[in-house]
Structure 1
Amino acid sequence: MHCQPHIKALVYKCLNIKQLCLLCGEPAGQPYPLCVTCECELPWLEEQCLRCALPLPLQDLLCVQCSRRSPAFEQVVAPWHYGFPIDTLISRFKHQSQWPLGHLLAQQLGMALQHRYAEGLAQPNRLLPVPLARGRLRQRGFNQAGMIAQWLSAQLGIPCDAQLLQRPHDTPAQQTLGAKARQRNLQRAFSLKAGAQVQGLHLAVVDDVLTTGATAQALASLLLKAGARRVDVYCLARTPKPEQG
């Protein structure tokens, strides 16, 4: 069953008929539907861990967890920390099917990546969206990570392979679990499609939000064991630690 919507048709009306800010409704005055005032007020992620993008009080540092044990992934790129109004926008995209908001956020992530590439960040060979289990995909009707990856692919000119990562088993939703439970929940949750060839490739896993990093760690470990050279993580937002929220 193909549950992914035809996203170009879904976002055309909002993005091409009237270029209004999708947050406040005023004229955007920019090439994308976001006015300067609303853009400046977004919770941009500045000081962060050099590896996992955890919000930190100072720049150019590693968080305690990454200092103690390097994660399997090389670099996380996230434009925002998971605060208002980004948390609301992502929720409306993810749970209320408001695809124009998702497209806007993906476009901003793409712009952030283009800036990082210009500064020297290595560009991956493929984009790989975090997969949903079949049951959850049927229930929701679309995979938000898959839509973000498709939009990024078109913007950045990087191929997207939405089938390489598989999630054959339904597991409890990650947001309902604590950090240790998340890790147990993801044991053997993912696999690669039959015949997948990733030897020597630089890959980027795409998701909406990075919380504990358990999903990113599980997928990066799987890809590295299969022969990938490097795995990065691209997401819209990074959550702080619970005591930081």
Structure 2
Amino acid sequence: MRREYIDSMPDLHATWLSQLGLRFRRQQQNWLNALPSQCAVCGRWPGPRICHDCRARWVSRFHRCQTCAIPLPALVCTCGACLMQAPKLQRCTAALSYAYPWQDLITRYKFQADLGLARSLGRLMASHPEVKEQLQACDVLLPVPTTSQRIRERGFDHSLLLARALARQSGIKRPVLTQVVQRKHMELAQHSSTREQRLRQLRGVFSLAPAQTKQVADRHILLIDDVMTTGATLDALASCLLTAGAASVCAVVLARTA
């Protein structure tokens, strides 16, 4: 008896539901964008969480070192410290300086769980020309890992939310890697540590399981973080990824200390 085989038809019901869900999420985002809010800087209402006037007044673009993002005089590409000891990062971009009013907003977001600021901060990052260049050049985004203890204390992963907000606001679709790199908990908080303490604590703090190496091998990885102080954390993470076979590691941070 002759048998004929027919290719299976696509699951039209599942496809329709997927498309409907996508349209609903887009409509939901439009509704959220249309809701009146109050500027977190000047208090203006109604308006976005960071109003256009505050962005125009307080967002300053500085010429920075291409590998550690420290402010530099014009026409100087690399700072003396990076020339003496090149970081593992191929490139680093800071969208803002860690100064008024941004340090207050970052504190509210990170330590007071004002999660509504994530989208606005991501939009600030996405508006930076060099950040757009970095997003276009990378294969994947990797938020700087947060320890499980810190996530339990805060109730959220601040770097992951910021990375997702940046990806959405930029419109440049790149996968966001999660749970690829593990980070050990350190007793002394990084923001209260000296550079020497940071360097000592960060030895072996990041690890990559052998099963996860395929996620980073031969890929151009863009790290995402909120605040860069000495660059020790980013450098340690970049070293871990390069050892695992990453093609290159760059970084984008929301704010850079002076």
TM-score range, shorter chain: 0.7 to 0.9
| Post-superposition offset of 1:121 | 7.4
- TM-score, normalised on structure 1? 0.83
1:132 is aligned with what amino acid? T
Tell me which moved more, 121-130 or 216-225.
121-130
Alpha-carbon displacement from aligned partner over 1:51-90 (angstroms, at most 9, x marks no partner) = 2110123343311111111110111111111100011110
Q: Corresponding residue for 1:152?
A: 166
Tell me which moved more, 19-28 or 99-108.
19-28
For residues 63 and 28 of structure 1, what CA distance do their matches in structure 2 show?
Answer: 43
For residues 192 and 12 of structure 1, what CA distance do their matches in structure 2 show?
Answer: 38
Between Structure 1 and Structure 2, the one with more helix by share is: 2
| Post-superposition offset of 1:171 | 3.9
Secondary structure of 2:68's aligned partner: coil
For residues 139 and 252 of structure 2, what CA distance do their matches in structure 1 show?
Answer: 14
Alignment pair present for 1:135 and 2:149: yes
Q: Corresponding residue for 1:109?
A: 125
| Post-superposition offset of 1:239 | 0.7
- Bigger Rg, which one: 2
Q: Corresponding residue for 2:72?
A: 56
Q: Write out aligned runs for 1:21-40 (5 A).
A: 21-26=39-44, 33-40=49-56
Tell me which moved more, 37-46 or 125-134.
37-46
**Do the aligned residues in 2 keep the contact of 1:27 with 1:35 (CA within 8 Å)?**
no
**Do the aligned residues in 2 keep the contact of 1:43 with 1:82 (CA within 8 Å)?**
no
| Contiguous gaps of at least 5 residues in structure 1 | 1-7, 241-245
2:158 is aligned with what amino acid? Q
1:90 is aligned with what amino acid? I
Alignment pair present for 1:66 and 2:72: no
Alignment pair present for 1:230 and 2:248: yes
| Post-superposition offset of 1:35 | 2.7
| Post-superposition offset of 1:223 | 0.5
| Post-superposition offset of 1:13 | 8.2
RMSD: 2.5
Q: Corresponding residue for 1:179?
A: 195
For residues 97 and 60 of structure 2, what CA distance do their matches in structure 1 show?
Answer: 6
Alpha-carbon displacement from aligned partner over 1:81-114 (angstroms, at most 9, x marks no partner) = 1100011110110011111222211111122257
For residues 84 and 181 of structure 1, what CA distance do their matches in structure 2 show?
Answer: 27
Alignment pair present for 1:215 and 2:233: yes
| Contiguous gaps of at least 5 residues in structure 2 | 1-25
2:152 is aligned with what amino acid? R
Structure 1 pair 16/122, CA: closer, same or farther in 2 (3 Å)?
Answer: closer
**Do the aligned residues in 1 keep the contact of 2:119 with 2:166 (CA within 8 Å)?**
no
Q: Corresponding residue for 2:20?
A: none
Determine which of 118, 126, 142 is the counterpart of 2:140: 126
Determine which of 72, 77, 82 is the counterpart of 2:98: 82
| Post-superposition offset of 1:182 | 0.4
Structure 1 pair 170/121, CA: closer, same or farther in 2 (3 Å)?
Answer: closer
Alignment pair present for 1:204 and 2:222: yes
For residues 202 and 115 of structure 1, what CA distance do their matches in structure 2 show?
Answer: 15
1:93 is aligned with what amino acid? Y
Q: Corresponding residue for 2:257?
A: 239
- TM-score, normalised on structure 2? 0.79
**Do the aligned residues in 2 keep the contact of 1:136 with 1:170 (CA within 8 Å)?**
no
Q: Share of identical aligned residues, percent?
A: 33
Q: How many corresponding residue pairs?
A: 227
**Do the aligned residues in 2 keep the contact of 1:163 with 1:193 (CA within 8 Å)?**
no
Tell me which moved more, 46-55 or 12-21.
12-21
